[in-house]
Structure 1
């Protein structure tokens, strides 16, 4: 049986990589708390919209944490549902920001009709994944049709068509009450797991020692191994993905202890916006003098970041409005 390591990280805002050698499986588990709750609270999203944003954030971090370079992974949905657009921007390895745009009346109607699940709120459209390695490197962009299938199935499809890798993704988000000095407050949590099948035949070797499965454990054929991994992953309950009292390590032990699961060091993630006064200043200077004059309201040029809602106020005299 596998040995569960001492848990040195907090249970929230981490990504935990793992590998199950006996069935040629690798993957990552994510658990989000303060980071995703901060982004949601800042905008005051309705609960169903918050859930969509939280799941999208978990998915993007699951994908971005697997990149081996410093760059950005941007997930964007463009759909006809009540939640028109979601954007999650991950700066590898550990920074994330996100926003959602939605039709409030359409969201209320969906709630009243009992159709407030994330897949229904997104509706039909596209999910676009953009990988930016920075510098002179060419961007890679993958596009997947949503068509009411939701983020989990769209992610599975993305890997099938872009990398031809058998992949299963599970996502969950939930609101909870947290006791504090001022009584009970609401907070959001999100979690997810990504598992991928990488048969020996496709890699030529194994980099890690095999797990500590019992002697005599039968090694299944590749198709059987993936069927087993997928079936085990599908047994995970949404509550297990967001349970603050169930660490990612123990969740993995529940799933794969019979095969031997190897857990690697957790990677911290944090909510972080890349906006700054200098950056906004540069954007304003990219406009013409006439355009800058049109920006002046109540004696100032004010720009509010869509991601973090920080407002930057500039005096018109800081710019040449005559250009």
Structure 2
């Protein structure tokens, strides 16, 4: 099969439209960037898979920001993985972190409960759009009731924007010739039904929306034929297809939608990038703590602060702050 455009590789999001089906979407492949996030903390495999799904979902949503800002996805739950934070900094930076109870993870694994939904448990997920200083933050909150992130994403878009949305996420460890260890990679696809004039541009991210609008939950609501076809085809995609390094986004889209036609736009690069810095941490230590508190933090005459996202260690002399105040 020949394609009329270059094929996109790893660490990129590819927007597309299915104009005959009144649908738009995005497909993402993550390779080295995701492997860096997951392998840096040596997460147990079930924890890594869940965080990987969260990173993919955040990349799919956050990469549609039309301004310099941040999209933050955070979960707080009662499961073995009790906190996840994934931070997308427009236009292309992503980082992620998971906090988990090691004993619970082991106990759940021994009981055969290792799916991302089981690792997540019950609680809530918040999606926040931060456009920077002097602007209002927008946030949508969805309850987590033992469901996976795919289901939660559907609920979020239904509640916040009343946009029919379908999401597929897949995370896997794969070995290639010459690798000294299996490497994490992932893929995901998000499609949304946008009838009439919705195809001319990628819509902006939702804000906090009207969570009480019952439009699509009305018993008389009838799903459009085009949307039914679009999501039915997406449902046929296997996890291995989404994560396959040999199957480009363009090739997968052609495989799914060549009969109805698919318009593919240039890929948008994604890179693993942390926003921590020595200057930021020094400012935080100087402005948020007293001399006595900084002394209490010091070990062997040194304050060490380790970034939870990238594991970079920053070290400071507690006495260096005295001269500044």
TM-score normalised per structure 1: 0.90
SS in 1 for 2:95: strand
Distance 1:187 1:241 in 2: 15
Q: Counterparts of 1:50-199 in structure 2 under 5 Å?
A: 50-180=48-178, 184-199=180-195
- Cα displacement string for residues 63-89 of structure 1 (whole angstroms, at most 9, x for unaligned residues): 001111110000001000111111000
Contact 2:172 2:186 in 1 (8 A): yes
Partner of 1:216: none
Gaps of 5+ in 1: 209-220
Distance 1:146 1:104 in 2: 21
Contact 2:73 2:85 in 1 (8 A): yes
Contact 1:190 1:242 in 2 (8 A): yes
- Cα drift, residue 322 of structure 1: 11
Distance 1:282 1:53 in 2: 30
SS in 2 for 1:56: helix
- Cα drift, residue 3 of structure 1: 7.4
Partner of 2:200: 207
Distance 1:223 1:168 in 2: 14
Contact 1:199 1:222 in 2 (8 A): no
SS in 2 for 1:245: coil
Partner of 1:249: 250
Give the 3 Å change call, closer, same or farther, for CA 143–3 of structure 1 in structure 2: farther
- Cα displacement string for residues 103-161 of structure 1 (whole angstroms, at most 9, x for unaligned residues): 11111111111110000110111011011011211000100111111100000100000
Contact 1:12 1:244 in 2 (8 A): yes
Partner of 2:5: 6
Distance 1:22 1:300 in 2: 63
Contact 1:176 1:189 in 2 (8 A): yes
- Cα displacement string for residues 149-203 of structure 1 (whole angstroms, at most 9, x for unaligned residues): 11000001000000110000000100112332xx532210011000000011xx3
Distance 1:178 1:298 in 2: 45
Partner of 1:306: 308
Distance 1:322 1:242 in 2: 51
Distance 2:2 2:19 in 1: 15
Q: Counterparts of 1:23-38 in structure 2 under 5 Å?
A: 23-38=21-36
- Cα drift, residue 321 of structure 1: 8.4
Distance 2:5 2:280 in 1: 43
Distance 1:222 1:40 in 2: 39
Gaps of 5+ in 2: 202-221
Distance 1:264 1:240 in 2: 20
TM-score normalised per structure 2: 0.90
Output the aligned Cα RMSD: 1.8
Distance 2:41 2:146 in 1: 25
Divergent runs of 4+, >6 A: none
Distance 2:162 2:295 in 1: 52
Give the 3 Å change call, closer, same or farther, for CA 199–104 of structure 1 in structure 2: same
